[in-house]
Amino acid sequence: MSRRFVMPKRTIDIHNHLQPGDDGTKLVRLMDEANVERSVILGTPWWPNEHVLAAVRKFSDRLVGGVYADPREKKKAADCIRRYHAEGFRIVKLFPNLGYYPDDEAVRPFFEKVAELGMAVLSHCGYLTTKETEVASYYSHPGRFEKLVRTFRDTIFILAHMGGIAGFLEAVLLSDRMPNLYVDCTPGQGLWVLNRAGAMGRGIPPEKLVWGADSYNLADLLRVYRAALVKQTYGPHLGKIFHDNAQGILEKIGAIPGK
């Protein structure tokens, strides 16, 4: 029965990062092999924004840049996102796991700047694999974004990895009720939820779900995700999840030209 659900001809990868030593050339080659139209590549604390910028400049028709910032750095963080906004970046990547709650009043001015610039927020949620010790998943639970999503209603928020295993139900609640909140199903926690959460794994509205590889294993992951999404009754919505929802987000924030 699942064979009748056809993948879109082109897909959009909403969540990825450059691998060490790649200036984007390898990623774009793999995108071609997997029929991925665009990939959003995001800076991280361990992979500089400058490297992302260089790759985006080289492959401006295929790669979309996202700037990493730490809201606790206040003016430095605001200056950082302002600078990369001027370079065409329209997405801010966050890692609250490193020790802050996104709804802490101390970092509210950062999100005010994000809203002022018309940028979107894509945040890690759930467990973060790192050798650092002062890191915890509870900082990044989706519920910690509720006040921000309610306050900055013109700002698009994307919660990564299905909101994390522990926070998944909060992601369901918010995505079902908040028009400016989306969820990406990137591995491994996103795939874990789709495969192991039973009927709850289909709780994200299909209009709010986007796909990302978070790795260079594009072709294999597209096959794996198609099977997982069809099993969770998302089969009729593959076009939305693998392309249209992301296309709409990127057009709305001005990351790519509108059609």
How does 50-82 read in b/e, with b if 16+ C-beta sit within 10 Å? ebbbebbeebeebbbbbbbbbbeeeeebbebbe
Whether 32 shows a pLDDT value over 60: the answer reads yes
pLDDT at 97: 96
- Tell me the per-residue pLDDT of 132-141, one tens digit each, with 9 for 90 and over: 778 999 999 9
Structural contact between residues 37 and 12, judged by C-beta atoms closer than 8 angstroms: yes
Phi and psi (nearest 5°) for 37? Answer: -70, -45
- Tell me the per-residue pLDDT of 71-84, one tens digit each, with 9 for 90 and over: 999 999 999 999 99
Interacting residues of 251 by C-beta distance below 8 A, sequence separation 6+: 257, 258, 259
Which fold does the domain 2-252 belong to in CATH? TIM Barrel (3.20.20)
pLDDT at 1: 44
Residue range 173-195: mean pLDDT, rounded: 96
Instruction: Tally Cβ neighbours within 10 Å of residue 26.
Output: 13
Whether 35 shows a pLDDT value over 50: the answer reads yes
Domain-by-domain residue ranges, the chain? 2-252
Cα angle at 94 between 37 and 234, to 5 degrees?
Answer: 45
Structural contact between residues 71 and 102, judged by C-beta atoms closer than 8 angstroms: yes
Structural contact between residues 149 and 163, judged by C-beta atoms closer than 8 angstroms: no
Residue range 85-112: mean pLDDT, rounded: 97
